């Protein structure tokens, strides 16, 4: 029976090649910091503890991980190498545990691959991969019997060793009891003047240990992030996988290379997503929903058969069935649309509830507003909801008809079946079935000529 698992995630490095003020492990992949991906994976393995070694901008890294309350933070004040980093965490680990070493900048290792590594239950288990271009990586050296003898860092390797294509991903399992004394005798007498964790391997071999290895199913799993270009490769590969996953479940994605998901997307049957769609947070699309080109949709639920036309931005909304949105609609947080609602081009809504069958087809702002059923809101209608200090509510009843270019100065109530004449500025509530006109009368002055 294997010992208890504890994960150590190394995240103290500066990531100087990112040329960014943001620590490397906080750079986003699919909208989440790299480190969060690693933590989420680590969690799924059910370790007794997760230790994260921080150093460079450690406070920032820590602050960003509020959702991972179980983390034991370990400070490595000076980044003297991966061996030194693990050594800082060791006093916090149970001496009979199995350690899993992960890197905060290697975000896509799968739970399945790590499970394989853990279940080797080896004193030293290494995740290795064969690369066509192994430059920069530590090489796995093997004896004639095929057993691993050690890891040689690229900068310390001989020309012959540099021919080796099997590299160390850095991810490994180690028996805590075995490595405790070995870490103490690590030396920094090498090309980089660092305490290499990888030196542990040959030291363990010298004590009679035979390291075991597994390889990932997909090399992307062990890809680290050192610069923006590598981060982009991971992003595109990850997005491609997310799109493939949705397509396998029946979603039609017009171009998976122009699809981005930064969160979770749940799609019903026969959903079509046109090009350049961006989904963030938690988005749920009902059956037959169509998302037009260039839409950004965040934290929103959209009902069956609703069509979102191109260039619409939707955030924090609940949208019913068979609605028509956009093109160029901006639906802001707190918007709740019943079924068969039309919110057309250049219409902005915020904190607005709109009843079944109502329409605001063009050029409208509805803020802090409640609209009943089958109301018609003409082009250019604006709810004046803000008096400079407070926000006020507008109420528009069932079947109300608001003419074009109306200013509704809140708080105000337009009751059921009321009509508002075009161009009105409405400052007082309008009773049911009434017609309200609030505009200067037109005067025609005959034979008017411009004076010279």
**Residues catalogued as catalytic:** 362
CA 139 to CA 156: how far, in whole Å? 10
Q: For residues 80 and 360, which CB has a smaller minimum distance to ligand UD1 in the complex?
A: 80
DSSP letter assigned to residue 97: P
Cis peptide before 411 (omega within 30 of 0): yes
Nearest to 280 by CA among 306, 323, 317, 328: 317
For the four alpha carbons of 24, 196, 146 and 180, in that order, the dihedral sign comes to negative
State yes or no: residue 85 binds ligand UD1 (CB under 6 A): yes
Which two structure tokens, joined as six digits, stand for 13? 């490095």
7, 8, 12, 172: residue in contact with ligand UD1 (rule CB under 6 A): 12
Q: Select the span of 81-89, 111-119, 272-280, 313-321 touching ligand UD1 (CB under 6 A).
A: 81-89
Tell which positions 88-117 bind ligand UD1, by CB under 6 A: 103-105
Q: How many helices (H) and strands (E) does the chain have?
A: 8, 34
d(CA 447, CA 369): 46
Stretch that binds Mg ion, among 202-210, 224-232, 256-264, 359-367 (CB under 5 A): 224-232
Which pair of structure tokens corresponds to residue 310?
Answer: 């191109």
Contact letters (x/-) for ligand UD1, 144-183, by CB under 6 A?
-------x-x-------------xxxx-------------
65 alpha-carbon distance from chain centroid: 14
- E-strand ranges in 194-258 read 212-214, 252-253
Nearer to Mg ion, 81 or 355 (CB): 81
Which residue's CB is nearer to ligand UD1, number 82 or number 215?
82
Among 82, 173, 175, 381, binds ligand UD1 (CB under 6 A): 82
Tell me the Cα Rg of the chain.
31
| Shortest distance in whole angstroms from residue 402 CB to ligand UD1 | 59
* Nearest residue to ligand UD1, by Cβ distance, number only: 138
Options 41, 57, 76, 239; binder of ligand UD1; rule CB under 6 A: 76
Binding positions for ligand UD1, rule: CB under 6 A: 10-13, 53, 76, 79-82, 84-85, 103-105, 137-138, 151, 153, 167-170, 196-198, 224
| Site for Mg ion, rule CB under 5 A | 224
């Amino acid at each position: 029976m294997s010992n208890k698992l504890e994960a150590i995630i190394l995240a103290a490095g500066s990531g100087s090649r990112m040329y960014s003020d943001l620590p490397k492990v906080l750079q986003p992949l699919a909208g989440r910091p790299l480190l969060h991906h690693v933590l989420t994976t680590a969690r799924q393995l059910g370790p007794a503890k997760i230790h994260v070694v921080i150093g460079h901008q450690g406070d920032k890294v820590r602050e960003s991980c509020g959702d991972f309350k179980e983390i034991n933070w370990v400070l490595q004040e000076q980044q003297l190498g991966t061996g030194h980093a693990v050594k800082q965490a060791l006093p916090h680990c149970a001496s009979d545990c199995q350690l899993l070493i992960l890197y905060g900048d290697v975000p896509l290792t799968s739970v399945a691959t790590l499970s394989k590594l853990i279940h080797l239950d080896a004193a030293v288990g290494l995740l290795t991969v064969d690369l066509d271009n192994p430059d920069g990586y530590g090489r796995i050296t093997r004896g004639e019997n095929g057993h691993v003898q050690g890891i040689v860092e690229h900068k310390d390797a001989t020309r012959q060793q540099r021919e080796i294509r099997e590299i160390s991903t850095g991810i490994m399992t180690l028996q805590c009891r075995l490595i405790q004394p070995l870490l103490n005798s690590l030396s920094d007498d090498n090309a980089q003047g660092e305490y290499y964790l990888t030196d542990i391997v040959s030291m363990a071999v010298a004590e009679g240990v035979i390291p075991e290895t597994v390889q990932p199913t997909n090399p992307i799993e062990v890809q680290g992030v050192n610069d923006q270009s590598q981060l982009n490769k991971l992003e595109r590969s990850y997005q491609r996988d997310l799109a493939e996953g949705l397509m396998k479940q029946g979603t039609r994605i017009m171009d998976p290379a122009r699809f981005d998901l930064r969160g979770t997307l749940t799609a019903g049957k026969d959903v079509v997503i046109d090009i350049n769609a961006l989904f963030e947070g938690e988005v749920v699309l009902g059956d037959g929903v169509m998302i037009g080109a260039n839409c950004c949709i965040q934290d929103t639920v959209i009902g069956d058969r609703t069509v979102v036309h191109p260039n619409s931005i939707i955030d924090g909304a609940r949208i019913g069935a068979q609605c028509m949105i956009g093109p160029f609609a901006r639906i802001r947080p707190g918007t709740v649309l019943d079924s068969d609602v039309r919110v057309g081009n250049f219409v902005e809504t915020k904190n607005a509830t709109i009843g079944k069958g109502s329409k605001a087809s063009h050029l409208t702002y509805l803020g802090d507003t409640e609209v009943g059923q089958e109301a018609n809101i003409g082009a250019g209608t604006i709810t004046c909801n803000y008096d400079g200090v407070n926000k006020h509510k507008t109420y528009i009843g069932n079947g109300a008809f608001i003419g074009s270019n109306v200013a509704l100065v809140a708080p105000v109530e337009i009751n059921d079946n009321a009509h508002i004449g075009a161009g009105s500025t409405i400052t007082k509530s309008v009773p049911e079935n009434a017609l309200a006109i609030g505009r200067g009368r037109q005067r025609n002055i005959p034979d008017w000529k411009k004076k010279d």
